[in-house]
Amino acid sequence: MREWGGAALTFMENLNQLSISPQNIDYIILNHLEPDHTGFTYMLNNLAPNAQFVTTSKGVELLEEFYGIKDSSISVKTGDSLDLGNGKKFSFTEIPHVHWPETMVSYEEKSKILFSGDAFGAFGVHQGPIFDNETPNVSKEYWEEEMLRYYANIIAMFSPNVIKAIDSLKNLEIQQIAPSHGLIWKGKPEVVIRKYKRYANYNQDYAEPEICVVWGSMYGNTEKMLNAILRGISQEGLPVSVFRVPNDDPSYILAKAYKSAGLIIGTPTYEYSMFPPMKYFMELLQKKHIYYKKVLFFGSYGWSGGAQKDFEKLSQNMKWDIFEPLSFKGHPTKEQLQKGISLAIELAQQVKKIPPKVNDETY
């Protein structure tokens, strides 16, 4: 917890409202030590000198490395528990690499609340309610999009670990999930688990029958081909998202690219290599393991090519089904534009055959 938006002050005010003095705190449970959650730890250690920090063995290491705390930590592992008295008892499950290696979840056995850290989290701004069962229907699409954006940008690389983590929690009777980001799930906590499982499977196989088009253009030549590509896609009636780099926020592009089984990259060559904003986005796709896509590449070049070579290098080992690339010198000819339409139709037809995976229960 860093001092963002008065978070530390709010925390101290909440303790005061509960008539809890920091000096009387016995335990501080750290599910995840990324500084956006734990930046207040050094100060808290001074305010609560009698408290012991409870975390995994890797968390103990990070606690010392980040905050110099080593004499007041307790290491726990999967299956361990902590009895707080008054009927309150926590059990712990390690879920490494969701998304840091020290991550665990804490389960309070009486209330059946799972404190999940970054797991089952979302981006987004609370628009009043903080609980799923108090969220109005008009806001639910927003939260679905923000959850997917969070997953694609923060968790996607670790999808195999997400599936393992969900399996490790299957025997818990969970009545509420309290993640560190996004909604708190006390109405239907099983819904967010199913959503995360669906997201995790997006990079284990082809995702939804949609197409994400990401393009950039310097002089309008690549943009000319873009218009032909979009005409081709439109003939098949598929959902399509179109983003321009560097104009659009990469986090939103990444979310749609992750969800879509079809991906189209349009970029010019810039000084013997790929247009830099597109190269950055391609590197993001590679870094986040955005696998299993039906992919089409197109783009213009001037005196020499280069963008296509970068594309081929960056798309290695991505498990993509790549269509015939369409590179052209200068302005595309009529024949090349027709070729673009035909390739877009072919890709869209293949994407249409992919069965949708969206079948989550609404909340």
What pLDDT, on a 0 to 100 scale, did the predictor assign at position 300? Answer: 97
pLDDT digits (tens, 9 = 90+) for 75-122: 999 999 999 998 999 999 999 999 899 999 999 999 999 999 999 999
The neighbour count for residue 237, using CB atoms within 10 Å, is: 9
Q: Which residues pair with 184 in a beta bridge?
A: 131
- Domain at 208-352: CATH code: 3.40.50.360
Residue 1 has pLDDT above 70, yes or no: no
Q: Where are the domains of the chain?
A: 7-201, 208-352
Residues 205-228 have a mean pLDDT of 97
Q: How far apart are CA 280 and CA 151, in angstroms?
A: 19
The predicted-structure confidence for 294-348, as pLDDT tens digits, reads as follows 999 999 999 888 999 999 999 999 999 999 999 999 999 999 999 999 999 999 9
Q: Please, what's the b/e burial string for 33-46 (b: 16 or more CB within 10 A of its CB; e: otherwise)?
A: bbeebbbbbeebbe
The topology (CATH level 3) of 7-201 is: Metallo-beta-lactamase; Chain A (3.60.15)
pLDDT-derived band of residue 363, with 50, 70 and 90 as boundaries?
confident
CA-closest candidate to residue 197, choices 358, 363, 362: 358
